[in-house]
Amino acid sequence: MHIATKGSKIDISSEKKLENFSKKIIINLKLGDIFFLFGDIGVGKTTFVRYLINHLQKKFNQKVTEVTSPTFNIMNEYNVGDFLIKHYDLYRLNKAIELKELNLFDKSEKAILFIEWPQIIKQKPSSVFELYFEYENNYQNRFINF
């Protein structure tokens, strides 16, 4: 999937900019895509996934649903059109061994994965899109680097 060139920096300082970026992502989205979402709490990772899922729901003429953080559930699943989307939040996991129970990458070719807090993953799949959500200017501006 081509988002932009490696080393690109996208301004997401407003929710509208973040929403517009999520619209661009859905154009080339395909089953088997895996996204690692890095960044501090509150920087926009879950909001990005919410916009993306809601845009897909509109595209497939489905009811727009609430997309919440999977912090407490670890994973939320959404069936949207032709896609199964799995949204993970690994923030509460302490040890890599806990990942084994999740079967994180089993049958990943039949879904699209968005994984927040992927730092705990020691063996990542060969093809992963890494998005780094960052603050700048004393939390006044937000960017996605990739």
Tens of pLDDT, residues 20-62:
999 999 999 999 999 999 999 999 999 999 999 999 999 999 9
How much is the pLDDT for 95?
A: 86
Angle (CA) 96-100-103 rounded to 5° is: 130
How much is the pLDDT for 3?
A: 53
Locus of tokens 């895509």: 33
Q: Considering the entire predicted model, what is its pTM?
A: 0.91
Residue 8 phi/psi, 5° resolution? -75, 155
Beta bridge partners of 34: 113
Look at residue 137 and tell me whether its pLDDT is greater than 80. yes
Rounded distance between C-alpha atoms, residue 54 and residue 128, angstroms: 22
How much is the pLDDT for 49?
A: 98
For the chain, helix, strand, coil in percent to 5 are 25, 25, 45
Rounded distance between C-alpha atoms, residue 89 and residue 17, angstroms: 23
What's the start-to-end Cα distance of the chain, in Å?
13
